[in-house]
Structure 1
């Protein structure tokens, strides 16, 4: 299917529901109070609306539109008339969830293996020089927030001597799935926008099996417009000499797309039947809204709890006609008053000190409870976010797994969605490296080996190996594999040979026992 050849609504109407969700989740992920207010409709100032942000005191039926939404969310309530600034406080817990999700997956790098030493060596070099592991970490964070992310492989022979990988968010893509797998996708980006003429330049990039197509369009904010030559804009003129008469070129990867979609988690609870993933924020947006309301209420208590002194007018010094009056709190002597004080009045009875209580404990407890519920709803344990049990004692790796069981369960589910992409990556990277850069490598799908996720306690591991060694219940190779579970057979064999040489062990390797016995029998 080619790029659009006529004017149409943009983004297309069939993805408007997805775009609305991306806009909401993106506002929470960005942590921008202005974006949250725009998403939930808190624009302008209205008197008397949103007295109860959760909607128990809803507006009358005469109100509609964004005012009705304002009564449902704390971030939907407008700034009341007479208030100079918005006093709403935002806690960026959504960003913490996305970052922690990415750390659980890729803080320790997975190992990608392909057949052949030459291909493996070249793949390792590409992974480090092209910053592939950084791209995986970025994609995992974006996927946690938006419900999925796209990884795209490409090349630029003027800047790099290897393939490159970039991450694209789902709100800039129109995917086409077939049996749950990405069959084609069209990315778009806004190159320039003129507010006065309402003209918008857009670049569309479509990926199909074995093909990549590029198109330049001049339209309006809500219309795609007509297709223009690629050379008409400096951002797309680099593709003008590369595309053929059909507007595309060969991707050098006939087995599939140069793009892979990684869902964060399935199924999507709001859109049934879609192959898109769901965000970690899905279902806890109202709880994050309530958390912001809680901490905003605490800050309101702090502002109202400031001590204030109310004095009569006679204690004020006039600043001149039309300039008001002021009171010097450090002044020690005042002129006597030509009047008798009220019966039973004290000397300082004309000064009123006002200071309200600040309910810190109540707000903190409510905030902790909401935070725990948000993390539980997102699929994580509170311990993964630095919340301790208060004991202050060191814990073992087994105890960490036990306390963070929910987080590691979510991590295990997400690794299953990442495996197809991590197997695809070596194949497409080495294919491009061979076809574009002329490397003598063979492209094949790789094997993925995930780390455990929690580093074992070295001291406890050492004691375990020592106990098994004393009981003569563990061979040298088993010891090495216990201490280094991530090593392959070649690394284990080399380490075993080094230990034999250092310890002066003359016992022959069982794997080479025949080589030792056969010559000796021949000599006899």
Structure 2
């Protein structure tokens, strides 16, 4: 028998990832299959004898639905993944060169071509969502001179990878994907998989034909249209069941970035323990409970629709075999004679029934479940943009909840910054090798995440203004507080610009002739002769008058004695 696929224990991990993918996509048919299949879920409820206790009926989506009742799905899992990604990448990180490499403009241009905000931000946003769902992502480079003139960085989800770790370090990884076959093709009834194994210094491509749970046999790469392009590099007569690409590196060209650790569910599985933890892990039952609550609310809304009951005499005969109907818009009815019906005996003949819709109770349960989901995911209602959880909450409580989201963000950034720094180094080195640019890093790149605003711009401005008025914060510290991700050099540059702005504002406030004394070509004030320009003095003192007065001398050209000053009379004027 051929090798089991996925190999143990990754078959366990991929079952969980398959479940998280169903919640993420909102595929309710898939959820019903998962929770309605005995033994599918590793964490399903088991009896002491080891058998599954029940047929998956512990989950709302696993219960039989013989009456085909309407069930509502709330896309909370997708919203959670989106919020987690936005927490990191709504303002994408800035990837720059180290101080020694910044002067190398061609190197900077090459870096921006691959990791600039216009090219890499969208990749990070997508990868952030998938990391939230599957617990992590693998960043890998690819290159094809027919498509791009540089290395292209991209990612692979953890659900499509079989990693190998040694001493907590990724040493090899095999990416795989199923290739659907056209009806009538040679492998139409087989499960065809393309395996791409990354090892230090090389990438090995193979194609296998098996079934849903076994790898099967190795087949020719050129036999499958999706991988035929790989065989173009092979020489005639060479075994075409394997293609090896040399990377030129002495290490692995792939980087794994965990969503967050430790992994609670797989801590006792050595081959899985180094994988990251999904934001969905352990709260699948809360997703399920939220759907059950939403479905119950919809049922209550339907039951609460107003209904009327009418007596038979109010019905209109639609003819033989057609039954009778009631016209809701009819405005005139004929009275019945006394004793011929209940409507003449004190009854109304038409009764209305309006059941109560318990929307407040359902809303409270909904909010409680949602709060548990956010708490377990390490997010706040502000990160989730849900006003229902912040109504009536004090400012102190809001700050405390914001602190939870900020703490989660900082924890995740630690994984992403280290992983992206290493990946940028790998990509730049591969780019120099395969595109012969001659541009190499001399020091590690810098990956800088911008701050996440926990205050609005107006609140932050008011806080800084209050501190400035109290004299407890400098201009430099204020600039740093507004831009916490700036370097000291950037802060200094901003301080210089602020000083220049102050000078310009002063000149505007006191007139454009403020510095005319230093400008011999300055024009006099409009409409006045140069001798008539007001200077604020009746007569300018002679050159050297101030210095001479300080020394008790009379300046040249003035024979008059200085007037004595009466100190007592001048006391009030200072």
Q: 1:476 to 1:387 in 2, by over 3 A?
A: closer
Residue 161 of structure 1 pairs with residue 149 of structure 2: yes
> Hey, what's the Cα distance between the residues in 2 that align with 1:352 and 1:320?
25
Alignment check: 8 A CA contact 1:379 1:407 kept: yes
Alignment check: 8 A CA contact 2:92 2:117 kept: no
Residue 104 (structure 1) aligns with: 87
Residue 220 (structure 2) aligns with: 229
Residue 257 of structure 1 pairs with residue 243 of structure 2: no
Residue 48 (structure 1) aligns with: none
Within a 5 Å distance, the mapping from 1:37-436 to structure 2 comes to 37-41=32-36, 68-80=54-66, 83=67, 85-115=68-98, 116-117=101-102, 118=104, 119-128=107-116, 131-193=119-181, 198-242=189-233, 247-254=243-250, 256-273=251-268, 274-331=273-330, 332-333=332-333, 336=336, 340-341=340-341, 345-348=345-348, 350-388=349-387, 389-390=390-391, 402-436=400-434
Residue 51 (structure 1) aligns with: none
Residue 453 (structure 1) aligns with: 452
Alignment check: 8 A CA contact 2:24 2:78 kept: yes
Alignment check: 8 A CA contact 1:198 1:221 kept: no
SS of alignment partner, residue 20 of structure 1: helix
> Hey, what's the Cα distance between the residues in 1 that align with 2:351 and 2:413?
64
Q: Deviations over 1:345-368 (max 9, x none)?
A: 4242x4343322111111111111
> Hey, what's the Cα distance between the residues in 2 that align with 1:318 and 1:437?
86
> Hey, what's the Cα distance between the residues in 1 that align with 2:316 and 2:205?
74
SS of alignment partner, residue 9 of structure 2: helix
Residue 206 of structure 1 deviates from its aligned partner by: 0.8
SS of alignment partner, residue 71 of structure 1: coil
Alignment check: 8 A CA contact 1:28 1:94 kept: yes
Residue 514 (structure 1) aligns with: none
- Please say which of residues 25-34 and 305-314 is displaced more in the overlay: 305-314
> Hey, what's the Cα distance between the residues in 2 that align with 1:101 and 1:179?
29
> Hey, what's the Cα distance between the residues in 2 that align with 1:242 and 1:490?
50
> Hey, what's the Cα distance between the residues in 2 that align with 1:407 and 1:251?
40
Residue 334 of structure 1 deviates from its aligned partner by: 5.0
- Provide the TM-score with structure 1 as the length reference: 0.80
Alignment check: 8 A CA contact 1:154 1:258 kept: no
- Provide the TM-score with structure 2 as the length reference: 0.74
Residue 486 (structure 1) aligns with: 485
> Hey, what's the Cα distance between the residues in 2 that align with 1:456 and 1:363?
32
Alignment check: 8 A CA contact 1:194 1:200 kept: no
Q: What is the root-mean-square deviation of aligned Cα atoms in Å? A: 3.5
> Hey, what's the Cα distance between the residues in 2 that align with 1:87 and 1:266?
38
Alignment check: 8 A CA contact 2:143 2:151 kept: yes
Which residues of structure 2 form unaligned runs of 5+?
39-43, 505-574
> Hey, what's the Cα distance between the residues in 1 that align with 2:153 and 2:308?
64
Q: Deviations over 1:296-323 (max 9, x none)?
A: 1111111111122233445433444444
SS of alignment partner, residue 417 of structure 1: helix
Q: 1:318 to 1:252 in 2, by over 3 A?
A: farther
> Which structure has the higher relative contact order (CA within 8 Å, separation 6+)?
1
Which of structures 1 and 2 has the bigger CA Rg? 2
Alignment check: 8 A CA contact 2:3 2:215 kept: yes
- Please say which of residues 188-197 and 90-99 is displaced more in the overlay: 188-197
Query: How many residue pairs are counted as aligned between the two chains?
Result: 476
